[in-house]
Amino acid sequence: MAENNKKNGFFSKLKQGLSKTRTSFARNLEEMLVGERLISREFYDDLEELLISADLGPAFAVELIEEMKARAKRKELDNPDALMRVMKEYMLSILEPCDAPLQIPGKDLFTIMVVGVNGTGKTTTIGKIASRLRRDGRSVMLAAADTFRAAAVEQLEIWGKRADAPIIKHAEGSDPSAVVFDALRAAKSRGTNILLVDTAGRLHTKANLMEELKKIKRVMGREVTGAPHETLLVLDAVTGQNALLQAKMFNEKIGITGLVLTKLDGTAKGGIVVRIASEMKLPIRYIGIGEKEEDLRPFNSAEFVEALLSSE
């Protein structure tokens, strides 16, 4: 299938999107290697700086350098290709455990609560997921529980129409939990397979937001056993280390079961995906590389490493 083909549009676009990260990284690395002895002190210092500036994180840098030093001692690291190979292997070993696509059983109601800071891409991601699922012939319903702005509901409605998925909404400013309650009832009575819940992300009232999200979770758990079955946190890769801080905060306050990394088209901070993987150890369900429906894919660690590190 086209989706499994490395030469497909998605892979090219991902590679294109990560090119800023790659140029500030892989190319620098190649330049560093020209004429330089691989195992000099300065080389490791430069490498550490480079890894940290690509948002790969200090832990990654230290561990990778330890690994390289060990291999250099065993004389396994005597050319740039070998070094690149070690880097790829190491990155893959961090990302592979996060390679866990969302599995949605075919019967019974499966509920997905989508959370994250304003502007990270929650509503867009819900629309894209809904379209994917509809294309697979699943029944999908959307709950507009970001009741803060009317525009948020309208945006979700547009995606709902596009995906042919009904939406449950209330008036602007109403209680988000009440919307979710109604949506759960509607989904149950119509025998819907998947309910996607959009939520607000305004952070200037952080404590309130977390309380609101906890309440939504409680309501879901009361109405449907095991709900929310997935609590999906959407992070904007462009924000680099802020995305990591958000992941920690949301996970601590409401518990996260999966991540979506958006805006990997055109970021110099693509390394943040590796850092989030190594520090959060949560499944990365999807990545986003644009605003359109087809710009969302299940995360694939091998594809990602290839796109991030291959120069040709």
Nearer to ligand GDP, 167 or 224 (CB): 167
In the complex, the smallest distance separating the C-beta of residue 43 from ligand GDP, rounded to whole angstroms, is 35
Per CB under 6 A, the list member of 24, 28, 118, 257 interacting with ligand GDP is 118
Cα–Cα dist 22/245, whole Å:
23
Contact with ligand GDP (CB under 6 A) among 120, 131, 177, 239: 120
Find which of ligand GDP, Mg ion, none residue 116 binds, CB within 5 to 8 Å per kind: ligand GDP
Nearer to ligand GDP, 62 or 158 (CB): 158
Q: Which of 21, 124, 131, 231 binds ligand GDP (CB under 6 A)?
A: 124
Torsion of CA 21, 23, 29, 31, to 10 degrees: -170
| Dihedral of alpha carbons 154, 155, 159, 165, sign | negative
Q: Which of residues 253-312 bind ligand GDP (CB under 6 A)?
A: 262-263, 265, 288-291, 295
- Binding residue for ligand GDP, selected from 33, 102, 121, 280, defined by CB under 6 A: 121
Q: What are phi and psi of 298, to 5 degrees?
A: -60, 145
Q: Does 209 bind ligand GDP (CB under 6 A)?
A: no
Please tell me the distance from the alpha carbon of residue 237 to that of residue 271, in angstroms, as a whole number: 9
- Please name which of 303, 311, 295 lies closest in space to residue 128, comparing C-alpha atoms: 295
Interacting partner of 156 out of ligand GDP, Mg ion, none (Cβ under 5 to 8 A depending on kind): none
Residue with tokens 């294109």: 16
Q: Which is nearer to ligand GDP, 50 or 144 (CB)?
A: 144
Backbone phi, psi, residue 128, to 5°: -65, -45
Query: Does residue number 160 form part of the binding site for ligand GDP (CB under 6 A)?
Result: no
CB 173 to ligand GDP: min, Å: 17
HSE, CB side, 13 Å, CA atoms: give it for residue 44. 14
Q: Which helix (H) or strand (E) holds 159?
A: helix 150-163
In the set 57, 176, 201, 258, which binds ligand GDP (CB under 6 A)?
Answer: 201
Rule CB under 5 A: say whether 124 interacts with Mg ion: no
Q: Which is nearer to ligand GDP, 17 or 47 (CB)?
A: 17
- Following DSSP, what letter does each residue of 163-225 receive, concatenated? HT--EE---TTS-HHHHHHHHHHHHHHHT-SEEEEEE----TTHHHHHHHHHHHHHHHHHHST
Query: Per this entry, what is the length of the chain?
Result: 312
If one asks whether residue 123 binds Mg ion (CB under 5 A), the answer comes out as yes
Judged by the rule CB under 6 A, the positions of this chain that interact with ligand GDP are: 116, 118-124, 201, 234, 262-263, 265, 288-291, 295
Judged by the rule CB under 5 A, the positions of this chain that interact with Mg ion are: 122-123, 152
